[in-house]
Amino acid sequence: MAKELCYLDQYYYIKSYDWALEEYIEALAFYKFLQSGEVLLYKEVIDALHFVDPDTEENKKLYMEVPEITYLMGLFDVGGELMRLAISE
């Protein structure tokens, strides 16, 4: 997706994939919390969404914009996953 958006205004299209980013951030945050007991940082999300395009000779760097509100909404959803885990244990 980063490859498709690299020459476009990502904020113009953000509502098309914002929900997917939230789910991805929720999954990353839940996994990190289960592994280390720590909260996923915004910088870690940004780092996870930087890529290198191996199809280009210069290995062009690609990235996806992540609005702060999308990061926060993904973190807020982790509470539900933790509650579901606690109930099922």
The DSSP-derived string for 44-67 is HHHHHTEEE-TTSTT--EEE----
Higher pLDDT, 12 or 66: 66
Domain total for the chain?
A: 1
CA-based diameter of the chain, in Å?
Answer: 51
β-partners of residue 50 are 63
Residue 38 assigned ligand-binding role: no
51 close to 62: Cβ distance less than 8 angstroms: yes
Residue 26 assigned ligand-binding role: yes
pTM assigned to the model: 0.80
Mind listing the pLDDT tens digit for each residue in 42-60?
999 999 888 777 777 677 7
- 27, HSE (Cβ side, Cα atoms, 13 Å): 7
| Structural domain that includes position 55 | 2-88
